[in-house]
Structure 1
Amino acid sequence: MKIIMMSLDSLRADRLGCYGYHKPTSPHIDKIASEGALFESAYSQDIPTEVVHTSIFTGKAGLRTGVVSHGSTLSHLPKSTEWLPSMLRQSGFTTGAVDNLYHLQEWFARGYRYYINSVGEKRWIDGKTVNELAKPWLRDHKDEDFFLFLHYWDPHTPYLPPDEYKQFYDSSSDPYDPHNTSMDGAYNHLAYPFFKNHHFDLIGPVTDAQYVNSLYDAEVRYLDDRLKEVDDYLEELGIKDDTMLILFGDHGESLTEHDIYWDHCGLYEQTVRVPLIMRMPSYIPEGKRVSGFVQQVDLLPTILESIDKAASSRIKCPAVPEKIDGKSLWPAMLGQEQGTQSRIYLSECAWQSARGIRTERYKFIRNYDSGLFTRPDQELYDLKADPEEMVNIADSFPKLAEQFEKELDAWIDLILQGKEDPMMHQLNTEGLPFRKRIENILNEVGLTWEEWKENPSRERLESLLLQA
């Protein structure tokens, strides 16, 4: 059996044709979806990247592993924690990865016989590089039972697609029109010092926010071609029909919604609802669309059940670990269930710190530390009446908000069993991990966080940088 997992970093579901997007960003992803199963309501229960990938490879929510923060020096995953690549290698799979998560935490290299570091000379990673490293590996191991993890970063900032992919912007508009003020919110945001260097300076003095959104779409289209390249190569090698292919977004991306400018924080739908598509010829029904809630921790038990279904004499199927939070997706793919969850518990701790609950009708968010944003302590949205989450009804329905508060507390208590809350430990010990990034930049120009917070503006920072 052959398994390929593709992490599509920062890819939000609603920018793909198979999820209803009207622009042609994803013809090959759409084709893969038509050949297998698409999950319409898949959620990233932990964001962002470091936390969610830890959850995926353990099958456990961050609250259970203790890894709840991205970019924290406090995060630690014991080596005794069962880890999917390690489990598969011990069971007889040849395990490989083309990835750079090892630079975040050492545990992301665990279990791989071949770990191919995709980091290049630049901070961002081109999908072309990932494929150049992955294709020889596939050729060399095509006759083996293997597990290969590929991590693509193309939709992640900075958005720098090749020119030939810049087809999604209205050609009659001028992205540098001095009369367009749609970028003012981004340029005068508390997060600007960080994104100035890591994004805005690289795309130029843009004034039209829609142009930046079009660059995101272009990156998605470029990614789609890179995935087609790998898929075509599987066919060329003669192993496409023997391969279980899993595509998932680790989290989405906010494209100006909720005062979040081209980043992936906030427990809103743009960031926590992700694409999830699986193809396994002769096993997963073609064109299957699963409507019920599923979450990324469901991937580990799903893969293990897949091995059991297609096991060869060389593979001993690993046992499903105890106390995981995921459930197999197979009953939903076979039409026996709607999904795996009746609600999704959400968590983040990077630019801001919050937890939430997503039910069929409501989204409840409890904000612990709003960081770079202005958020109320509680947010409650009726997603049937307000799918864009624009009207906070927490004050109008205090009993309902209190009910969700109690449910969230009960879930936390059930998982922790009296142990210290790792998110509270993070906030009380080091604070928000990403706020330090801003503070380090401000220190270079002699500004404190409090001074910057009083008057954040692009002009002010650039003036100070010139003086420095």
Structure 2
Amino acid sequence: MRILFLDLDSTSPDHLGCYGYQRNTSPNIDRIAAEGVRFTNYYTSDAPCAPSRTALMSGKFGINNGLVGHGGTAGDMKPEGRERELMGKLTRGGSLPSYLNLVGNLNTVLISPFPQRHSTFHFYAGFNEIMNTGGYGNESAEEVTPTALDWIERNASKDDWFLYINYWDPHTPYRAPAEFGNPFENDPLPEWLTEEVLERHKKLAGSHSVHELNIDYREKTYTNSTSPVFPRYPGDIMNMDDMRRMIDGYDCGIRYMDEHLGRLFAALEKQGVMEDLIILISADHGENMGQLGIYGEHATADQGTCRIPMIIRWPGMKQGIVDEGLHYHLDLLPTFAEMFGGPAAPEWSGSSYAQALKEGTNCGHDYLVVSQCAHVAQRSVRFGDWIYIRTYHDGFHLFDEEMLFNLKEDPKEQNNVAAEYPQVCREAVYYLNQWHDAAMRKNTDAVDPLWTVIKEGGPFHARGYLKNYIERLEETGRGELVPELVRRHPNEFPQEPSAFYGEMMARISAKMMKK
């Protein structure tokens, strides 16, 4: 058995031809989709990068594995504690590659710099061969493909391997080389991205709004600066020409990557293994390209960020079908367990969708809960036609605490209808509480890492940014947003003792003086 897993960072299904996109961004991906099962409601349980891949590899929600952010305590997995054995669970089948190695007897191979990018070295657990492409996730496809082609030429004809490859080109900032050109320069923009939509988005705040598409990590501020190194990526979106530059840049990243995937497929055909090869094509998260007024970022627990592609071509299984059930990306481990006839670990959070591959039957969840704690602190419930988003820390975007979107009527999440459908919101909160209770029962430490993030100062990509951002808002004529930001985030400013506690201290001092 041979398995190829293509992890295409920041690739949104909304921008792939096989998912209905009008631009020809993905002919090679589309070809594989036509030969397998395409999942349309497939979600990362935890976003963005490090939480997503940790959940995938461990098979556990972030609330259980502990890694939900990009910094602080929640930037690392929870230790196993006193019950840890000489070989921890990640070695003993508790990670995706170690499971495939032990149960499937597969040689597991990784081509990725991801663990170094986020210091998530648990990601290596279970891989027999590891090749770090050396760019901390800033690689273009031409820096990844030669390593992959070399391995394919030397090893593809061997039996029993699992090859996991990361590509990064759709990740902001978009870096397809200049000589690639722009195959979309004459294509219309997506119909929904109109001047009216842009004008509404100009009234919004926060990182990767149309005013601030970049982050200066050294100065801790959001900016509209540009870089000659990334000419496809604008600093802001003030008109439709800027909008085109943004959308074309992202789509060029996908198309450039797709052409390199075509080179891999050609090499595998040359080795004579393509016909019987199992191929999985997915992503760690999607990319907001206007959803919630955010562009070029994976910053929320919404449809734009958390819905991801999943295409599985498994020879001998169903071909050319679409599965519309609700699935988590971490359902993959239980699915592999069923396909290989192995045991399922009791701590896994997901459930198998093997029957979708074998029979084409719907075996999805009744609802999903997805989380984001790196840019904002949010949990969302996906059920029926709805996505309900609960915001605990808005990352300075001034999101409503409750947001509700009808994805059938409003797939780009432009109209919050929470006030109009309170009963739907209550149903979502019931699901959220049900999920939370079940997840917390699995935690030996009774700690919800979302609240760890908040107690440690908020999401990593917003922590310590507000003072500088307020200055920018005032400098750019948006000072009317400042009072509400200050009201929502009082902990960002030094606090004077309240009048109540000041009076109490005075009374205590007076009593002590009398004695």
Q: 1:169 to 1:187 in 2, by over 3 A?
A: same
C-alpha change, 1:329 and 1:116, in structure 2 (3 Å) is: same
Q: C-alpha root-mean-square deviation of aligned residues, in Å? A: 2.7
Deviations 1:386-428 (A, max 9, x none): 3332222222233332332232122112111271211101210
Residue 235 (structure 1) aligns with: 269
Asked if 1:124 is matched to 2:144, the reply is no
- Aligned equivalents of 1:72, 1:191: Cα separation in 2: 22
Going from structure 1 to structure 2, the CA distance change for 1:197 and 1:190 (only over 3 Å counts) comes to closer
* Aligned position for 2:310: 276
CA 1:172 to 1:137, structure 2 compared with 1: closer, same or farther past 3 Å?
closer
Residue 4 of structure 2 corresponds to 4
Alpha carbons 1:50, 1:71 under 8 Å: kept:
no
Amino acid at match of 2:8: L
Matches within 5 A, 1:171-182: none
- Equivalent residue, structure 1, for 2:471: 451
Name the TM-score, length of structure 1 as normaliser. Answer: 0.85
* 1:371-386 paired onto structure 2 within 5 Å: 371-386=395-410
State the alpha-carbon separation in 1 of the partners of residues 140 and 281 from structure 2: 17
TM-score normalised by the chain length of structure 2:
0.77
Whether the aligned pair in 1 keeps the contact of 2:8 and 2:282 (CA below 8 Å) is yes
Runs of 5+ consecutive residues of structure 1 not aligned to the other structure: 174-180, 309-317, 459-468
Q: How many residues align?
A: 433
Distance verdict in 2 for CA 1:223–1:336, change over 3 Å = closer
Match of residue 86 from structure 1: 98
2:382 counterpart residue number: 358
Q: Distance in 2 between matches of 1:140 and 1:130?
A: 16
1:394–1:106 Cα change, 3 Å? same
- Give the secondary-structure state (helix, strand or coil) at the position aligned to 2:154: helix
Change (3 A) 1:306 1:226: farther
Q: Give the Cα separation in 2 of the matches to 1:172 and 1:101.
A: 35
In structure 2, the residue matched to 1:288 is 321
CA displacement at 1:172 relative to structure 2: 11
The 1:94–1:44 alpha-carbon spacing in structure 2 relative to 1, beyond 3 Å, is: same
Percent identity, please.
Answer: 29
1:35-50, aligned counterparts within 5 Å?
A: 35-50=35-50
Q: Which amino acid aligns with 1:188?
A: H
CA shift at 1:266, angstroms? 1.9
Cα drift, residue 384 of structure 1: 3.0
Name 1:342's counterpart in structure 2.
Answer: 366
Query: 5+ unaligned residues in a row in structure 2: which ranges?
Result: 80-87, 190-197, 236-240, 479-515
Matched, 1:99 2:112: yes
- Equivalent pair of 1:102/1:108 in contact (CA under 8 Å): yes
Note if contact 1:364-1:380 (Cα within 8 Å) is conserved in structure 2. Answer: yes
CA drift of 1:230 comes to: 0.8
| Structure-2 separation of matches of 1:137 and 1:301 | 28
Amino acid at match of 2:115: Y
Q: Could you tell me which of 188, 197, 201 is aligned with 2:211? A: 188
8 Å Cα contact 1:291/1:339 also seen in 2? no
Paired residues of 1:290 and 1:339 also in contact (CA < 8 A): no
Measured after TM superposition, the shift of residue 30 of structure 1 is 0.7
Is the Cα–Cα contact under 8 Å of residues 5 and 163 in structure 2 kept in the other structure? yes
TM-superposed CA distance for 1:277, in Å, is 0.4
Q: Is 1:421 the equivalent of 2:448?
A: yes
State the SS of the aligned residue for 1:242. coil
